[in-house]
Chains A and B, each alone.
Chain A
Amino acid sequence: MKGICLKRGISGPLLLILLTIFVMVPHGGCQRETATRCSYDGVEINPRYEVQFAMKDGTLLRFCSMACALQAFVQAKDNIETVLVTDEVTGRKLRAEEAYFIESSVVTVPHVNNRIHVFASEPEAVRHRDQFSGVHLPNPFVLFDPWREEMLGDKKLRIKIDPQTGLTRIIKGDPYIMSLQHFDPNHFDREGAKKAAGALLALLGNYLKVSVDELTLSGMEQIGGSWYVSFWQTYGPVIIFESSIGFSISPEGRISSVGALLHQAHKGLNLPTRAKLGLKEAEAIARAYLMKKEPWDYKLVAYQLIIYPRKGQQGAVDYYLAYILNFYYPEAYRVTRSWAGWICFVDAVSGDIIDLQHLIAIASCCMPVDDET
C-alpha cells in the first residue's frame, strides 16, 4: 500500500472492535441497515465505489470507498477469502486482482477524500490517468504479502518469500547487506567469487538454506566498476535446471541485493545422479517423439544432464534426473519460424519424455547452419 495517502486514521483495537461487532451481529433486524452502510465508518454506500470483503467464515464486509476498505484490510486480511471492487464506469463487481487502480486528483467519496479509482477496462483507466494527472497503482489488496522486514545487526533487510515454496527469493539490504573485507575489484577472480558467496551464505544461511558446496559458478562479469556474479545450485555433481543465486558487488565491496531461485524439496528424495540411459538412447527417444509431433530432420545442437524440477498443477514440484536436448529445425524451415526448434526433456532413468518446450535461438548470426549449407 505504499504511495497511497490516506488522511484518516483509526486505532487498531477500535477497528477490531468495529469489525467484530459487524461480524457478530445476527443477520436479522440489522441486516437492512448494514447492507447499505460502510462496515468501517457507517456511512451510506454509493454502489459505484463499493468494495466488498468476502470473509473466510462466509460473511461479507462492505465499504463505501477504497480508502475505508484499505484501512480495514490491514487488520482483516488474514480472514479474507476474496476482495471485490467496483468498476466505476459500469458499476460491475470484479476481483481486485483483475482491476486497474489509478490514484488521481479526482475525489470520489468526499468524507474520506478517496482519490483511488477502480476500472475493469485498461483503456478507461489510462484515459482517466491521462485526464486527471493520475498514476497506476498495483493491486493494494494482496492477500499474501511476500515481503517482510527483518533486522540483521544494524542492517535492515527486505526479504521476499516465494508464496508456494516458502523459500527466500530476494534479499535487499538497507543501505546494503554486507561489505566484503579486503575486496579489490581489479583482482577479483573465480576463487574470489566463491569466497564472496561463502561469506554471504555465512551471513544469510538462515534465509537461503544452501551451502557454498552446492553451488557452481555460472558467470561473472565486471561492468561499470561493479562485479556481477551468479551460481547454479547443484545436487551432487548435477546442476538443477533454472536454479540460481547471484549478487552484484560494488567497487567498494558492498553487496546490496541477492536474488535466488533455490530448491529444497529434492534433498529428501534420494535422487540418482548417474543416468541409466546413455545420451544416444535419450536422443533416439526424443527424436522419435519429435517425429510424431512435427517430422523434420532435426539437428541436436546442445545437451546436458540436469535435475529437472517440473511444477505440477497444484504448485507441487517433481524432480527428475533428465537429459535436456536442444533440437534445431533444418535451416530452410527455421527461417520461416519464430522458434528455432524444440527443447526435449528425457527422464535419464526411465526414458520417459518429461517435457517439451519451444526453443528460441540466440540471435540470428549465431544460429548453426546445416551441414550441407
Chain B
Amino acid sequence: MKLKGAIHIILWPLLLLLVPCCSGDKAVGRVAIGERIPDFRYEDITGIRGSLGELKGRVVLLRFWADWCPYCKFEMPRINLFYQRLRDKGFDVVAVNVGQTRDVVEAFTAQLNLSYRMVMDPDGKVARSYGVKGIPTNFLIDRAGIVREILVGEIFIEDRVLEDLLRPYFPDANL
C-alpha cells in the first residue's frame, strides 16, 4: 500500500463518521469566498502550458489531490462525468496533484480514464500559495474568476452534490 497511504487503513472508519463536517469552510488560508482567485501558471502532464487566468469566462473547479488519498481517488471519475457533460458549455477542471511525480499521475489518469487537465505541484508550492492544508480541497470559481465555494474533504460522494453545485451556472444543461 502506498502509504502515505497506510493512513487510510487506520483512519478510514473514523473519517466516514466525520465526513459531514468537512465542507463549507469560509476561507482557506489566503483564498476566500467572494474574492478573486490568484493566478498560477502550469504545465499539464501532456506538456501543454497555461494558466488559471486564461480560463476566465469559464466555470472552473480547481482541485488539489493526491492518489494515495482514497477520497480524492474515487471522486475523480465522478468529476469527470460532469466535465464531459459540461465542457462544451464552459466548465473546466484543473486537478493539481500535490507532492507526487508525473509518472504516478500519468498512470492514475489512464486508470480512471480522466480527460480533464492534470497539473503537477511536486513540492506543494501551489497548494501552499492557495492555503491548502489538506486534500482534497476544491475551489469553485465563477466565470469572472471569483471564488464561489471552497470545499474541503470528501464532498462529491454522490452525483447530487456536484449537480447542486453546478446547476446555478448551467441552468439549461442536462446534468
A interface residues (Cβ-Cβ under 8 A, vs B): 100, 122, 126, 136, 138-139, 142, 160, 162, 169-172, 218-219, 221, 223-224, 226, 228, 230, 232, 239, 241-248, 256-261, 301-304, 306, 324, 326, 337-340, 343, 357-368
Closest 10 CB pairs of A and B: A259-B110, A246-B111, A363-B134, A259-B111, A363-B153, A259-B107, A302-B6, A261-B107, A304-B6, A361-B134
Q: For residue B49, which residues in chain A have a CB less than 8 angstroms away from its CB?
A: 100, 122, 136
> CB of B21 within 8 A of chain A?
yes
**Number of A-B contacts defined by CB within 8 Å:** 188
Say yes or no: B70 contacts A219, CB within 8 Å. yes
A–B complex contacts, Cβ < 8 Å, 6 sampled: A232-B1, A239-B2, A259-B107, A324-B6, A360-B99, A362-B153
Which residues in chain B, 11-35, are within 8 Å of chain A measured between CB atoms? 11, 14-15, 18-19, 21-22, 25, 29
- Partner of A228 from B3, B74, B104 at Cβ < 8 Å: B74
Given contact pairs A239-B1, A302-B7, A360-B135, A259 touches B77 in the complex (Cβ within 8 A): no
Against A, the Cβ 8 Å flags (1 = close, 0 = not) of B70-102 are 110110011001000000000000000011110
Contact partners of B107 in chain A: CB under 8 A: 169-170, 244-246, 259-261
Closest to B109 in A: A259
Identify which of A169, A244, A257, A360 contacts B98 (C-beta below 8 A): A360
Give the Cβ gap from B126 to chain A, nearest Cβ, in Å.
11
Check B103 for interface membership: any CB of A closer than 8 A.
yes
In residues 44-82 of chain B, which contact A (Cβ within 8 Å)?
46-51, 54, 66-71, 73-74, 77-78, 81
Main secondary structure of the interface of A (DSSP, over half): strand
B5: interface (CB < 8 Å): yes
Answer yes or no: B4 CB below 8 A from chain A CBs: yes
Indicate if the CB atoms of B99 and A139 lie closer than 8 Å.
Answer: no
Chain B nearest Cβ from A334, distance in angstroms: 8
User: In the complex, A358→B25 CA distance in Å?
Assistant: 24
Q: Pick the contact of B15 from A224, A242, A338, A362 — CB < 8 Å?
A: A362
Q: A360 and B66 in contact (CB under 8 A), knowing A247-B111, A340-B134?
A: yes
Q: Please give me the residue from chain B that is nearest to A216 by CB atom.
A: B1
Chain A residues lying within 8 Å of B4, measured Cβ to Cβ, are 324, 326, 343, 359
Nearest-neighbor residue (CB-CB) of A241 within chain B: B2
| Given known A241-B3, A304-B5, contact A257–B152 (CB-CB < 8 A) | no
Q: Which residue of A lies closest to B14 (CB)?
A: A366
With contacts A303-B6, A324-B3 taken as known, whether A138 is within 8 angstroms of B48 at the C-beta atoms is: yes
Q: Does B127 interact with chain A (Cβ within 8 Å)?
A: yes
Which A residues are in CB contact (< 8 Å) with B6?
302-304, 324, 326
* B163 on interface, CB distance cutoff 8 Å: no
B21 to chain A: closest residue by CB: A365
* Cross-chain contact B46 with A138 (CB below 8 angstroms): yes
> When the two chains form their complex, are residues A360 and B106 in contact, meaning their CB atoms are under 8 A apart?
no
Given contacts A100-B49, A228-B74, A363-B137, 14 further A-B contacts (CB under 8 A): A122-B51, A169-B106, A170-B110, A171-B110, A219-B74, A224-B77, A301-B7, A302-B6, A337-B133, A338-B128, A362-B11, A363-B71, A363-B136, A364-B153
